């Protein structure tokens, strides 16, 4: 059994998602990915020995994502989500597992953007938030979507992971 060490830091004052619910659903999404061979076997976790996985969430606003994008990614615009996939983005020879724990990195989500997008799409804020979380986890596992084929792979598995927590997401 895998131990999950997941952490949320929310510095956005206009909405506080239910942290316990978010973490519970995040674990379920992650377990879907780990238990799906075509995801797991192509992830950064394959051939690694571990008993714990950790990653962090920062919930903020789009001015903070703009600052992070500008300062760390040389991109001068706000984002709804930024993922720092520390483990996946490292060369295989440089990846380290400390005390059988893998730190996958951090997912930063602009909750103001979540609120705007959920309203545009006609879905709940929680549904949009879980969509972004499922997307961020795919990046933490080493998946990108530079090609249409890669994009379809990511989206297909996001939708299936979300279905596993009772969210039918057809707004992509």
- In the numeric block, which tokens belong to residue 159? 């939708």
Helix (H, G, I), strand (E, B) or coil at 20: helix
Instruction: Give the residue extent of every domain in the chain.
Output: 3-163
Closest to 110 measured CA to CA, from 148, 165, 145, 67:
67
Give the predicted TM-score (pTM) of the model: 0.95
CATH architecture of 3-163: 3-Layer(aba) Sandwich (3.40)
Which DSSP helix (H) or strand (E) runs through 157?
Answer: helix 148-163
Mean pLDDT per 10-residue interval, the chain, length 172 residues: 95 97 97 98 96 98 97 96 97 92 98 97 96 98 94 95 92 62
């Amino acid at each position: 059994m895998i131990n999950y060490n997941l952490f949320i830091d929310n510095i956005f004052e206009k909405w506080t998602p239910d942290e316990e619910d978010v973490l519970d659903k995040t674990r379920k999404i992650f377990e879907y990915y780990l238990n799906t061979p075509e995801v797991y076997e192509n992830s950064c976790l394959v051939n690694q020995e571990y008993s714990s996985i950790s990653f962090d969430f920062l919930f903020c606003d789009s001015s903070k994502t703009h600052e992070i994008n500008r300062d760390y990614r040389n991109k001068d615009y706000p984002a709804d989500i930024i993922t720092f996939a520390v483990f996946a983005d490292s060369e295989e020879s440089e990846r380290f597992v400390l005390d059988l724990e893998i730190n996958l990195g951090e997912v930063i989500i602009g909750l103001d953007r979540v609120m705007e997008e959920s309203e545009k799409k006609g879905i709940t804020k929680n549904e949009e938030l879980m969509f972004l979380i499922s997307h961020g986890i795919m990046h933490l596992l080493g998946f990108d979507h530079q090609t249409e084929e890669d994009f379809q792979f990511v989206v297909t598995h996001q939708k299936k992971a979300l279905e596993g927590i009772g969210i039918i997401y057809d707004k992509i």
